[in-house]
Amino acid sequence: MVWRLALSAAFLATLAFAGPASADDLYGTLKKVNDSGKIVIGHNADSPPFSYIGANGKPEGYTIDLCHRVAEDVKKELKRPDLKIEYVSLTPVNRIPLLVNGTVDMVCATTTNNFTRQRQVDYLSTMYISGARIITRADTGIKSLADLKGRPVTVNQGSSNEQIMKALDEQQKLGIRFINTKDNPQAWASLESSRSDAHVTDEPTAYGLVVASKQPDKYLVVPGPRLSFDPFAIVVRRDDSAFRLVGNKALADLYRSGEIDKIYEKWLSTIGMSMDPETKTLFKVQALPE
Amino acid sequence: MRYSWKWSAVLTDPYFDWIISGLELTLLLSLISWAIALVLGCLIGIARTAETKWIRSLAAAYVECFRNVPLLVIFFLWYFVAPEILPRNAGLWVKRDLPFPEFWTSVVALSTYTAAMVAEQVRAGIEAIPRGQANAALASGLTRWQVYRYILLPVGLRIAVPALGNEFINIFKNSSLALSIGLLELTSRTRQISEYTYQPLEMFITASAVYFVIAMLTTAIMMAIERRSRLPGMITRATR
């Protein structure tokens, strides 16, 4: 009896002095990270300036910077400065299975947050407002959505842009001839070789493609309102509020301190974009008080 | 870990219709390409056994070109490169006015590739016949055309049947690469649905199951053909 009492006292003592917010209370991603000693960032290989493999062979970009901030705060929360950051390159096909099965802890890319997807995954706070935009060759004379009537237009298979364009096409009876391209490089090849007259993709991707092209003056992003509302966010696992709390707090700190302006400017200026008033408001309302 | 399964996504409107339309395209693409590949492959396979050297080399060049390039690259070559080599207006017609360009380009890519495979099986079938038979036929006064028509092809093609059955199953699986040039066949439809619903595992399992059933049916058909075309005296599966 005495012996047993001593044992439980010793057990309680270890608990009390076990340092990181008593490891036993941890669950979900925080527990997994604490146990494995590493936090795994899933990224895209080719979505500049958000998430791509940089010149030094390492993933970089706007979303990657934000995820590094989240990782830093996870280290502080767990009092584990020794945590390692690992990277796994994802494709649209494997990103959900690999997040859900625990291979990666965050998907740091250009993922749109919507309720259908929230049946399967969860998101941190919105970090970018995107929407579908039309890129066209300067010689097509396309100035608006209505000008796409009857023309060959590329959309990437499975993208939210595909969904919105097919809905708009039906709604406005445009009779667009859709070409369902696999990815942006292929869509660009179609546009460049006149197989298609326009490509519909996320706003930053649209600007990025034009800037990166061989002859930027031969292409243009059709101005005017965006064709859809696509809030981008970092993807995390469902039912994991403890980890979400750390993540959202890290982001809110960036939004509140104005540090987000520098990060935004650093990456988005590379494709000639600057922060619009809507985005400023977005960061302001998401900067919840401490 | 915590994947939330939702099998009903497969049956929800419009996703079920998409899977069916994808399956239709997969079957149509594979069967049309197989018909073309079979004819083209037989001709090239026969050409590879021809007496005339330049015909033989030409056929060999075809086979090596298509067999040694990844099928994915062949799709890209036909879709992106071929129209640029054509005269400008013809190229533009292919790119803009050809009805359903993704489908017909896929047919061309898949059939030209599979023809090279078929050709090799046909050649092997013909070459498996002891040379003496053709020589004896020629000596008995048959023309070269008659030797092929009555001796080499009836026997050679029957020897090739099991190997051709393999290629027939392969063409259904290979047709999934058409998604790379934007054809919404079975695989790309299921990928599309998994992006829309975020239920990728259900979709991949569905696609795998459908391909599996197609392959099993093809196998059953090919086994029936094999039984009927079996050459007495050859080492093949014993009849029950």
Q: What ipTM does the predicted assembly reach?
A: 0.78
Q: Nearest to residue A234, comparing CAs of A122, A154, A139, A143?
A: A122
Residues A208 and A157 in one domain: yes
One domain, residues A177 and A86: no
Nearest to A117 among B181, B184, B198 (CB): B198
Which one of A228, A248, A270 terminates a domain?
A228
Residues of chain B contacting residue A154, judged by C-beta atoms under 8 Å apart: 182
Contacts of A152 in chain B (CB under 8 A): 96
pLDDT in tens, A80-104: 999 999 999 998 878 888 999 999 9
Both A125 and A235 in one domain: the answer is yes
Interface check B83 vs A, CB under 8 A: yes
CB contact under 8 A, B195 and A237: no
Chain A residues in contact with B191 (beta carbon < 8 A)? 92-93, 157-158
pLDDT at B228 over 50: yes
Look at residue A12 and tell me if it is in a domain.
no
Residue B98 with chain A: CB contacts under 8 Å: none
Candidates B196, B202, B205, B208: best to mutate against A (most CBs of A within 10 A) is B196
Indicate yes or no: CB of B182 within 8 angstroms of CB of A182: yes
**Could you say which of B179, B184, B198 has the minimum Cβ distance to residue A120?**
B198
pLDDT band for position A7 (cuts 50, 70, 90): low
Average pLDDT on B147-156 reads 94
Q: From the CA of A145, how many Å to the nearest CA of chain B?
A: 20
Can you give the pLDDT at residue A259? 96
Q: How do residues B113-132 score in pLDDT, each as one tens digit?
A: 999 999 999 999 999 999 99
- The reply to whether residue B200 touches residue A93, judged by beta carbons under 8 angstroms, is yes
Structural domain range at position A185? 132-228
Task: Report yes or no: A115 at the B interface, CB cutoff 8 Å.
Answer: no
**Which domain range does residue B35 map to?**
8-229
A92 and A63, same structural domain? yes
> In whole numbers, what is the pLDDT of chain A averaged over residues?
91
Q: What is the CATH number of the domain that holds B141?
A: 1.10.3720.10
Per the domain annotation, does B181 fall within a domain? yes
- Domain identity same for A82 and A174: no
Q: Model confidence over A211-263: pLDDT tens digits?
A: 888 899 999 999 989 999 999 999 999 999 999 999 999 999 999 999 999 99
Residues of B in contact with A158 (CB under 8 A): 191-196
Q: Let me know whether A213 and A246 are in one domain.
A: no
Total domains in the fold of chain B: 1
